Amino acid sequence: MRLSNKFITAAILALATAVMLGGCMPRFIAETANVAVSKYCKIPSAGRTAVRKIVDRSVRPNRIEINCSGD
Question: For all residues of the chain together, what is the average pLDDT?
Answer: 82
- From CA 34, how far away is CA 4, in angstroms rounded? 19
pLDDT of 61? 93
Q: Is 69 helix (H, G, I), strand (E, B) or coil?
A: coil
| Predicted TM-score (pTM) above 0.85 | no
pLDDT of 24? 62
pLDDT of 16? 76
DSSP string over 13-60: HHHHHHHHTTTT-HHHHHHHHHHHHHHHHHS-HHHHHHHHHHHHHHHT
- For the segment 33-65, what is each residue's pLDDT rounded down to a tens digit? 899 889 889 999 888 888 888 888 888 999 888
> For the chain, first and last CA: distance in Å?
18
- From CA 16, how far away is CA 32, in angstroms rounded? 10
